[in-house]
Amino acid sequence: VVFRSRAHRDKVNAKAMADPRLAGMGPKDMPFDGKRMFWGGFKPFVQL
């Protein structure tokens, strides 16, 4: 994602985080450990 400026990035991020659909996406609600995915990596199933 490329933003026009830092101010634009901050505005977009604030709107995204205020989206009620993200309310249930806390780290304890995820079906996997994001830290392990980051460090462990993954192999794509499909490449476009």
Q: Which residues of 18-46 are buried (b: 16+ CB within 10 A; e: fewer)?
A: eeeeeeeeeeeeeeeeeeeeeeeeeeeee
Number of structural domains the chain divides into = 1
Tokens 């460090």: give the residue.
39
Does residue 48 lie within any of the structural domains?
Answer: no
Asked, for residue 13, whether it belongs to a domain, the answer is yes
pLDDT of residue 26: 74
Task: Measure the CA–CA gap between 15 and 7, rounded to whole angstroms.
Answer: 13
- 1 within some domain: no
| Residue 47 counted as domain residue | no
Quick one: pLDDT at residue 8?
A: 97
Q: What is the pLDDT of residue 40?
A: 58
Residue 26 lies in domain:
6-40
pTM for the full predicted model? 0.49
pLDDT of res. 41: 64
pLDDT tens column, 2-48: 999 999 999 999 999 899 988 777 777 777 776 766 665 667 788 88
Would residue 14 count as lying in a domain? yes
